[in-house]
Chain A
Amino acid sequence: MPDVTITVDGRSFSVPAGTNVVDAARMGGIAIPVFCYHPRMPAVGMCRMCLVQVGMPKLDPATRQPLMDAQGQPVIALMPKLQTGCTTPVSEGMVINTKTEEVQFAQKGVLEFLLTSHPLDCPVCDKGGECPLQNLTMEWGPGQSRFDYNDKVHFEKPVPLGDLILLDRERCILCSRCVRFQDELADDSVLGFDHRGRNWMIVSKSDPPFASKFSGNTTDICPVGALTTADFRFKARVWELSSKPGICTLCPVGCNLNFDMRHDRLMRVMPRENGAVNDIWLCDKGRFGHRFIEHESRLHAPLIRHGDHFVEASWEEALTLVAEKLAAVQSARGGSAIAGLAAPRLSNEDLYLFQRLFREQLGSNNLDHHLGSPDDGDHDDLGGLLAVGKGTNLMELGAGTTVLVFGADPEEEAPLYLLRLRALVQRGAQLFVANQRATKLERSATQALRYSVGGELALARALVRELLERGAAERIKLKHSGLDALRKQVLAQTPEQLAAAAGIAHEQIVALATALLEAEHGLIMYGAEARSAGLALIETLGALAVLSGNVGKPNSGMIALLPGGNSRGALDLGVRPDARPGYVLMPQRGLPAQQLWSAARDGHVRALWIAGLDPAACLPDAREALTAAEFVVVQELFMSETARMADVVLPAASVAERDGTYTNAERRVQRSRAARAPHGQSRPDWQIFQDVAQMLADMMVLPHPRVEAEGAKPAKAAKGAKTAKGQNEQVVTRPPEPPRWDYLTPDEVAAEIAERVPSYGGVTYEALAATGNPGVWGRQANEAVFYDGTSYENTEGIGIALPSLISTGRFTLSLSPRPAPVVKDERPLLLLAQPLAYGGDPLLRGSLLERQLAQPAIVISQSDAEKLNIQNGDRVRIVSAVGELSAAARVHADLPPGLVMVPAGLPGLCLSRIQTGPRTRVSLVKVVV
Chain B
Amino acid sequence: MLLQTHQAEIETIIGRYPSKRSAVLPLLYLAQDTYGYLSPEAIREVAEILELPPTQVFEVVGFYTLFYDRPVGTWVIQVCDDVPCCYVGAEELIAALKATLGISEEQTTADGMFTLQRVKCLASCDRAPVVQANLDYIYDVHAERAEELLNNLRARAAEAKQRGVSGRFAEDYLLGPQGIVHIPRDAPYQQERGERK
Give chain A residues whose Cβ lies under 8 Å from the Cβ of B44. 205
In the bound assembly, the distance between CA atoms of A313 and B53 in angstroms comes to 56
Find A206's partner among B40, B43, B54, B59 (CB 8 Å cutoff). Answer: B54
Interface size class of A (residues with CB under 8 A): 10 to 19
8 A-B pairs in the complex with CB atoms less than 8 angstroms apart: A192-B58, A193-B63, A194-B58, A194-B62, A203-B62, A205-B40, A205-B54, A205-B55
In the bound assembly, the distance between CA atoms of A203 and B43 in angstroms comes to 14
In the bound assembly, the distance between CA atoms of A189 and B21 in angstroms comes to 14
Give chain A residues whose Cβ lies under 8 Å from the Cβ of B43. 205
Find A196's partner among B55, B57, B63 (CB 8 Å cutoff). Answer: B63
Give chain A residues whose Cβ lies under 8 Å from the Cβ of B40. 205
A204 within 8 A of B: yes
- What is the CB-to-nearest-CB distance from A662 to chain B, in angstroms, rounded to a whole number? 36
A190 within 8 A of B: yes
In the bound assembly, the distance between CA atoms of A598 and B52 in angstroms comes to 52
Residues B43-95 near A (CB distance < 8 A): 43-44, 53-59, 62-63
A306 within 8 A of B: no
**Quick one: CB contact mask for B16-45 with A, threshold 8 Å, 1 for yes?**
000000000000000000000000100110
**Quick one: CB contact mask for A180-218 with B, threshold 8 Å, 1 for yes?**
000000000111111110000001111100000000000
- What is the CB-to-nearest-CB distance from A100 to chain B, in angstroms, rounded to a whole number? 37
Q: Which residue of B lies closest to A194 (CB)?
A: B62
In the bound assembly, the distance between CA atoms of A845 and B98 in angstroms comes to 59
A189 in contact with B53 given A194-B58, A203-B58, A205-B58 (CB within 8 Å) = yes
- Is there contact, CB below 8 Å, between B62 and A195? yes
Can you add 7 more A-B contacts, CB < 8 Å, to A189-B56, A190-B53, A195-B62? A189-B53, A190-B55, A191-B55, A193-B59, A195-B63, A204-B55, A205-B44
Query: Among A195, A204, A205, which residue has the most Cβ atoms of chain B within 10 A?
Result: A205
**Quick one: CB contact mask for A745-761 with B, threshold 8 Å, 1 for yes?**
00000000000000000
- Is there contact, CB below 8 Å, between B55 and A203? yes
Give chain B residues whose Cβ lies under 8 Å from the Cβ of A195. 62-63
- What is the CB-to-nearest-CB distance from A438 to chain B, in angstroms, rounded to a whole number? 13
Give chain B residues whose Cβ lies under 8 Å from the Cβ of A205. 40, 43-44, 54-55, 57-58
- What is the CB-to-nearest-CB distance from A442 to chain B, in angstroms, rounded to a whole number? 15
In the bound assembly, the distance between CA atoms of A173 and B69 in angstroms comes to 25
The size of the chain B interface, using a CB distance under 8 A, is 12
Give chain B residues whose Cβ lies under 8 Å from the Cβ of A207. 54
In the bound assembly, the distance between CA atoms of A203 and B57 in angstroms comes to 11
Give chain A residues whose Cβ lies under 8 Å from the Cβ of B56. 189, 192
- What is the CB-to-nearest-CB distance from A190 to chain B, in angstroms, rounded to a whole number? 6
- Is there contact, CB below 8 Å, between A206 and B53? yes
- Is there contact, CB below 8 Å, between B63 and A189? no
- What is the CB-to-nearest-CB distance from B69 to chain A, in angstroms, rounded to a whole number? 9
Give chain A residues whose Cβ lies under 8 Å from the Cβ of B53. 189-190, 206
In the bound assembly, the distance between CA atoms of A317 and B43 in angstroms comes to 66
State the 7 A-B residue pairs at the shortest beta-carbon distance, nearest first: A194-B62, A192-B59, A189-B53, A192-B55, A205-B55, A205-B58, A205-B54
Q: Which residue of B lies closest to A204 (CB)?
A: B55
In the bound assembly, the distance between CA atoms of A189 and B40 in angstroms comes to 17
Give chain A residues whose Cβ lies under 8 Å from the Cβ of B54. 205-207
Give chain B residues whose Cβ lies under 8 Å from the Cβ of A193. 59, 62-63
In the bound assembly, the distance between CA atoms of A194 and B55 in angstroms comes to 9
- What is the CB-to-nearest-CB distance from B161 to chain A, in angstroms, rounded to a whole number? 28
In the bound assembly, the distance between CA atoms of A207 and B43 in angstroms comes to 13
- What is the CB-to-nearest-CB distance from B98 to chain A, in angstroms, rounded to a whole number? 23
Q: Which residue of A lies closest to B53 (CB)?
A: A189
In the bound assembly, the distance between CA atoms of A196 and B67 in angstroms comes to 13
In the bound assembly, the distance between CA atoms of A206 and B40 in angstroms comes to 12
In the bound assembly, the distance between CA atoms of A193 and B56 in angstroms comes to 8
**Quick one: CB contact mask for A205-234 with B, threshold 8 Å, 1 for yes?**
111000000000000000000000000000
In the bound assembly, the distance between CA atoms of A205 and B44 in angstroms comes to 9
In the bound assembly, the distance between CA atoms of A175 and B56 in angstroms comes to 17
Give chain B residues whose Cβ lies under 8 Å from the Cβ of A192. 55-56, 58-59
Q: Which residue of A lies closest to B40 (CB)?
A: A205
In the bound assembly, the distance between CA atoms of A206 and B43 in angstroms comes to 12
- What is the CB-to-nearest-CB distance from B67 to chain A, in angstroms, rounded to a whole number? 11
- What is the CB-to-nearest-CB distance from A227 to chain B, in angstroms, rounded to a whole number? 15
Q: Which residue of A lies closest to B62 (CB)?
A: A194
In the bound assembly, the distance between CA atoms of A194 and B58 in angstroms comes to 7
In the bound assembly, the distance between CA atoms of A189 and B50 in angstroms comes to 14
Q: Which residue of A lies closest to B57 (CB)?
A: A205
In the bound assembly, the distance between CA atoms of A11 and B54 in angstroms comes to 49
- Is there contact, CB below 8 Å, between A189 and B55? yes
Give chain B residues whose Cβ lies under 8 Å from the Cβ of A203. 55, 58-59, 62
- Is there contact, CB below 8 Å, between A206 and B63? no
- Is there contact, CB below 8 Å, between A206 and B62? no
- What is the CB-to-nearest-CB distance from A90 to chain B, in angstroms, rounded to a whole number? 34
In the bound assembly, the distance between CA atoms of A141 and B182 in angstroms comes to 57
Give chain A residues whose Cβ lies under 8 Å from the Cβ of B55. 189-192, 203-206
In the bound assembly, the distance between CA atoms of A756 and B85 in angstroms comes to 89
In the bound assembly, the distance between CA atoms of A192 and B62 in angstroms comes to 10
Give chain A residues whose Cβ lies under 8 Å from the Cβ of B58. 192, 194, 203, 205
- What is the CB-to-nearest-CB distance from A209 to chain B, in angstroms, rounded to a whole number? 9
In the bound assembly, the distance between CA atoms of A189 and B56 in angstroms comes to 7
In the bound assembly, the distance between CA atoms of A203 and B63 in angstroms comes to 12
Give chain B residues whose Cβ lies under 8 Å from the Cβ of A196. 62-63
In the bound assembly, the distance between CA atoms of A203 and B62 in angstroms comes to 10
Q: Which residue of A lies closest to B43 (CB)?
A: A205
In the bound assembly, the distance between CA atoms of A32 and B62 in angstroms comes to 34
Give chain A residues whose Cβ lies under 8 Å from the Cβ of B59. 192-194, 203
Give chain A residues whose Cβ lies under 8 Å from the Cβ of B63. 193, 195-196
In the bound assembly, the distance between CA atoms of A196 and B59 in angstroms comes to 10
- What is the CB-to-nearest-CB distance from A176 to chain B, in angstroms, rounded to a whole number? 11
In the bound assembly, the distance between CA atoms of A203 and B61 in angstroms comes to 12
- What is the CB-to-nearest-CB distance from B47 to chain A, in angstroms, rounded to a whole number? 8
Q: Which residue of A lies closest to B60 (CB)?
A: A192
In the bound assembly, the distance between CA atoms of A192 and B47 in angstroms comes to 14
In the bound assembly, the distance between CA atoms of A191 and B54 in angstroms comes to 10
- What is the CB-to-nearest-CB distance from A259 to chain B, in angstroms, rounded to a whole number? 33
Query: Among A192, A203, A204, A206, which residue has the most Cβ atoms of chain B within 10 A?
Result: A192
Q: Which residue of A lies closest to B52 (CB)?
A: A189
Query: Among B43, B44, B58, which residue has the most Cβ atoms of chain A within 10 A?
Result: B58
Residues A146-199 near B (CB distance < 8 A): 189-196
In the bound assembly, the distance between CA atoms of A436 and B24 in angstroms comes to 32
In the bound assembly, the distance between CA atoms of A853 and B55 in angstroms comes to 23
Give chain B residues whose Cβ lies under 8 Å from the Cβ of A190. 53, 55
